[in-house]
A and B are shown apart, each in its own frame.
Chain A
Amino acid sequence: MTSTTRSSTPEPARQTLGEGLNTWIANVRAGDIGSLPVILGLIAITIIFQVQNDRFLSAQNLTNAIVQMAPIAFISTGVVFVLLIGEIDLSVGAMSGVGGVIIARLLVPDGNEINWVLALGVAAIVAVLVGGVHGWFVTKLGVPSLIVTLATFFMGTGVVLALAGQQGLIRVQDPTVIGIANTFLSDTIGWLVAVSAVAIYAISLFVTDRANLAQGLTAGSWAAFGGKVTMAAIVAFGTVAITNADRGLPLVGLILGVTVVVWLTIAERTKFGRHIYAVGGNAEGARRAGINVDRIKISCFMIASFMAAFGGLVLASRLRSVDNSAGGGNLLLNSIAAAVIGGTSLFGGRGKITNAVQGALVIAAVESGMGLLGWPSDRKFIVTGFILLLAVSVDTVTRRARQTSGRA
């Protein structure tokens, strides 16, 4: 900007690789480990299963994994928002069932069916209203979110039973809805998606660095820039290469990617998102800064219910039906576990939207790996339980590290 700021501060520069590494190591030491554990965990899980069964990393298995983890990832994205404000939502499983059953019911081709856009709209509105009710009870009445959402978990389960009808199963026949989880993109489109994703990522990194330099601040090193873009390219092109060897990139994978980027941008680059983190970090501090704490909390509950219904839609699409147990089973537990395994803190204020996808990947990897090895469900539950316990312990221990590193 102006030459005065430039001359009064040290010459703005990119960090060297060494400086960048030092910053990173200092952060990790202080307990800011971010996604490190979950990424290491994923690598470990991959190696363990691949060694025992080389079909684990096969094109077909990986493509299936994307479709299978998608509903959990969608629901878990919303769970991250409530965890960020230090609350919980136990109704997301039931809410996904309610969303699915509403959509399926409205689309039954009995002459009264409505357009799929309208059906999705109705489910979305119901979900947002339910989230608003959660938020109202929590903020205005002061009822713990654990109890409020436990109550609506029961109610939602009842609503699903009621709406699923006599047969207890509604077949989904709408081609658009079925298409969501059952469409695979052509090879060319898959590559285009990968190229655009990497390009957008690189541009956003570059713009951030340039803004920093323009303000006389130091920017990350070129090595860090190159490293991040290379990693993104490996993930994006690798995924497309593998899925193209099977049926192609699943459409639902692309929808998930776009959804996560949108929520990530809202959480990390907007005022609203900053205020969510502030409320989770110190609600009283946020209030004194003039933030409407109740409004932020209510919004987060709305997002959680909305994303739960979204997950219900994807599940209905994948199964091509909704039955009276929709949203039950271990869907709720998996969705909350995914957020926590991904690294979102249960204590509020710490976590990233991407944690939902990372955690869902871990859960999908464990399930698919054990499926390949022919392990029964009992062991799946036990192993998932251990992983969850490990993730929560990492959260608790690093939280202590952060506390002791402060107030030197």
Chain B
Amino acid sequence: MESTPLLETRGISKRFGSVQALFEVDLKLHAGEVVGLVGDNGAGKSTLVKSIAGNHTVDEGTVLFEGKPVTISGPKAASDLGIEVVYQDLALCDNLTVTQNMFLGREETNRFGLLSEATMQRQAAETMKSLAVTTLSSVSQNVARLSGGQRQSVAVAKAVMWNSKAVILDEPTAALGVAQTRQVLDLVKRLAERGLGVIVISHNLHDLFEIVDTFLVLRLGQSIGSYTKTETSQQEIVEAITAGQLSHVPGQDSDEIRNES
């Protein structure tokens, strides 16, 4: 039997009105492992992430962290546990500097309650350096001036700065060029080397094959299965994404069935 997963979901289900966005989804993420979460548009990937991070309340199922069931009520609760999510839109504050963004909500203050700007800047610079983010000339520049890849790096660095144990990245390379995608992929590998568990959502199987250990395929809100990278092929994953066997026929209790044909 393998070790206890860092993060696990058991039978997560979530409906939006008549749409069954998730149906009994199981996911396992171990420390030091990269899981690729794949599926077509609307398969439920983002919804699964938001359910884990406490942005959605789930209808059914449990989330376990380090083997213990947890209820995560929001972003704060998630990061208190050590789970950080980097959403597709990043949500950085353009009017703040790299350092100010990285410390947002967790600023350090001196005994007078004033911000310890210099201390935070050094720590931000050290984090960037430890993640080998070298494309950033200064952590005191405004985020507004950064390129897409640099912004992604800031968002990831922000997520891993806090002794986080699990990091979830929603389409981290979707808007990036070749060189910048490279930077982010390398960054993901480095996170896993550090012992973090990483979930990466992406539509780019080629990129994913380079960084993940296992794939979890979702289709119409259901888990098609988990595939170990070394024992699968791009073709098998593509088939699972587009035509994987569903255990539960969607629309049995709603009028969704028309979408199936």
Contact = CB atoms under 8 A, between A and B. Distances in A.
Given A282-B92, A285-B91, A290 B146 contact: no
Contacts of B109: 270-271
A407 interface: yes
Contacts of A289: 75, 104-106
A405 B145 contact: yes
Interface string B184-222: 000000000000000000000000000000000000000
A287 interface: yes
A217 to B, nearest CB: 6
Contacts of A265: 114
B51 interface: no
B178 interface: no
Given A216-B122, A265-B114, A286-B93, A271 B145 contact: no
Contact of B79 (A30, A269, A285, A290): A290
A277 B94 contact: no
Given A214-B118, A281-B94, A286 B146 contact: no
A178 interface: no
Interface string A394-406: 0000000011011
A104 interface: no
A113 interface: no
Given A285-B91, A288-B87, A30 B145 contact: yes
B56 to A, nearest CB: 14
B201 to A, nearest CB: 17
Given A217-B121, A406-B144, A285 B92 contact: yes
B256 interface: no
B17 interface: no
B15 interface: no
A407 B148 contact: yes
A280 B95 contact: yes
The main secondary structure of chain A at its interface with chain B is helix
Nearest to B90: A285
Interface string A254-273: 00000000000100011100
Contacts of B100: 274, 277-278
Interface centre among A217, A291, A408 (most CB of B within 10 A): A217
A237 B125 CA distance: 40
B115 A270 contact: yes
How large, as a class, is the contact surface on chain B? Answer: 35 or more
B76 interface: yes
Interface in B111-130: 113-119, 121-122, 125-126
Contacts of B119: 211, 215
B96 interface: yes
Interface in B71-94: 74-76, 79, 87, 89-94
Interface string B9-32: 000000000000000000000000
Nearest to A291: B105
A215 B117 CA distance: 10
Contacts of A270: 109, 113-115
Interface centre among A280, A285, A407 (most CB of B within 10 A): A285
A349 interface: yes
B107 interface: yes
Contact of B146 (A278, A349, A406): A406
A284 interface: yes
Interface string A325-362: 00000000000000000000000011000000000000
Interface string A181-217: 0000000000000000000000000001001101111
B79 A282 contact: no
B118 A212 contact: yes
B95 A349 contact: yes
B142 interface: yes
A174 interface: no
A208 B119 CA distance: 11
A288 B75 contact: yes
B228 interface: no
B4 interface: no
Interface in A204-259: 208, 211-212, 214-217
B232 interface: no
Contacts of B242: none
B93 A278 contact: yes
Contacts of A30: 142, 145
Interface of B: 74-76, 79, 87, 89-96, 100-101, 104-107, 109, 113-119, 121-122, 125-126, 142, 144-148
23 contacts: A30-B142, A32-B142, A211-B116, A211-B117, A215-B119, A271-B109, A271-B115, A278-B96, A278-B104, A281-B93, A281-B94, A285-B92, A285-B104, A288-B87, A290-B74, A290-B105, A291-B104, A291-B105, A349-B94, A402-B142, A402-B144, A405-B144, A406-B144
Ranked nearest first, the 6 interchain pairs of A and B with the lowest CB-CB distance are: A289-B105, A285-B91, A281-B93, A281-B95, A349-B95, A290-B76
Interface of A: 5, 9, 30, 32, 208, 211-212, 214-217, 265, 269-271, 274-275, 277-278, 280-282, 284-291, 349-350, 402-403, 405-408
